[in-house]
Amino acid sequence: MTLSLSRREILAGTAAFALCGMAAPQRKTRVMPPVPPQAYVFGHRGACALRPEHTLASYGRAMADGADFVEPDLVPTKDGVLVARHEPNIAETTDVAAHPEFADRRKVLTIDGEQQEGWFTHDFTLAELKTLRCKERLGAVRPESMSYDGKFEIVTLDEIVAFVQAEGAKAKREVGLIPEIKHSTFFAAAGFDMEGLFLAAFNRLPYLQDAPLIVQSFETAGLKRLRREIGQYGNVQLMQLFDDDAKRPADIVAAKGKTTYGDMATPKGFYVVADYADWVCAPTERIFNTRDEGRHLVRTEFLADAQRAELLVGAYTFRPENRFLPPNLRNGGENERNQAGAVAYMRRFLNAGVNGVFTDDPAIGRLAESDWGQ
């Protein structure tokens, strides 16, 4: 599996969103990313349905179960090291509350408009974070993963890259990374240059310059910077993440702009995004609306509009438990695993033409995509 610079030219849109709204697209040439021959299976936080998220065990299980890419979400430590946590708040995913030496670091912060109480990675050195142990975020919903609580430490981006490279070599299979750079605007205000830290890692780690690499963000400015800095590398693609239509990317909020994710998810908006990103990725319900209390799924225009702008399209997040499936696909208690329902739900998206799926259980994603191991 490779990402190549050999891409056909298409017409795209303007280079940036105007602060007061979205400018009309101006035609210019760009290069189209190769369409994957089969949809990619992205191991969401590894294989977090089965192992505590963002641990080497979770990434290893994802690779063993056939993930094409594994996903580290990146946040900084106090001493400027990128580590893998879904959020800087580690109250729910580590045993930090059981460490009395860190009790005075509990605080309330507002991150991208959301007030949170807990402990935050950028208040800890890497050495301090290494004294903590990871745990399952969803607790008893995922008993297999919960059985590993306390066994694994927080890992750095460098450690993840070394692990993925070594495990892939053992399996004779190249596995990509799809890191998400978290909360760039928030961390910039706290003194951390998230894109700068990632670029330093990129320049330091040869695997990142060669292996399939898709970098994600909910913000726009960081992706534009990465396009300028590393867009010439043939293994690199960029993914614009989408949130609820009424919300705005945090960098646009900080710049007092008005462009929402809903504005971006229009024919005109996708051409703007296509100037700096190769992928767009949206919540499942943004691609298929659930109607009639979950009995019917109705495709929105998101997929077709994005593909007309020659963007690749991903969807997040597919999970194996009944509680995360549309009601008509459930077959038991809300916390029970439902492989058949999860496969059927994912195949709806794959059959529609989605190019990549984020899943907490890559084995189910592989089964939905290609009957992996059957």
> What share of the chain has pLDDT > 90, as a percent?
84
pLDDT value at position 54?
A: 98
pLDDT value at position 218?
A: 98
Q: For the residues 162-175, what does the mean pLDDT come to?
A: 95
Strand 9-11 and strand 29-31: the pairing is: antiparallel
Q: Which amino acid is at 89?
A: N
The token duo for 142 is 């995922």
In this structure, are residues 356 and 287 in contact, taking their beta carbons and an 8 Å threshold? no
pLDDT for 201 beyond 70: yes
Tell me the pLDDT band of 290, cut-offs 50, 70 and 90.
confident
pLDDT value at position 295?
A: 67
Tell me the pLDDT band of 21, cut-offs 50, 70 and 90.
very low
pLDDT value at position 297?
A: 83
Q: For the residues 226-235, what does the mean pLDDT come to?
A: 95
Tell me the pLDDT band of 372, cut-offs 50, 70 and 90.
very low
pLDDT tens digits, 130-139:
999 999 999 9
pLDDT value at position 36?
A: 76
pLDDT for 23 beyond 60: no
pLDDT value at position 38?
A: 86
pLDDT value at position 219?
A: 98
pLDDT for 25 beyond 60: no
pLDDT for 254 beyond 90: yes
Residue 176 backbone phi and psi in degrees, to 5 = -90, 170
DSSP 226: H
340 exposure class (CB count in 10 Å sphere: 0-12, 13-18, 19+): exposed
pLDDT for 194 beyond 90: yes
pLDDT tens digits, 336-352:
999 999 999 999 999 99
pLDDT tens digits, 33-77:
667 778 999 999 999 999 999 999 999 999 999 999 999 999 999
Rounded to whole angstroms, how far apart are CA atoms 172 and 69? 15
Q: For the residues 291-298, what does the mean pLDDT come to?
A: 70
Domains of the chain are 9-88+154-370 (3.20.20.190)
Mean pLDDT of the chain: 90
Residue 80, phi-psi category: left (phi > 0), alpha (psi -120 to 50), beta (remainder): left
pLDDT value at position 30?
A: 46
DSSP 79: T
Strand 82-84 and strand 73-76: the pairing is: antiparallel
pLDDT for 24 beyond 90: no
pLDDT value at position 239?
A: 98
Tell me the pLDDT band of 8, cut-offs 50, 70 and 90.
very low
Rounded to whole angstroms, how far apart are CA atoms 148 and 57? 9
pLDDT for 278 beyond 70: yes
Strand 107-111 and strand 29-31: the pairing is: unpaired
Tell me the pLDDT band of 365, cut-offs 50, 70 and 90.
very high
pLDDT value at position 370?
A: 77
pLDDT tens digits, 83-115:
999 999 999 999 999 999 999 999 999 999 999
Q: For the residues 301-321, what does the mean pLDDT come to?
A: 97
Tell me the pLDDT band of 22, cut-offs 50, 70 and 90.
very low
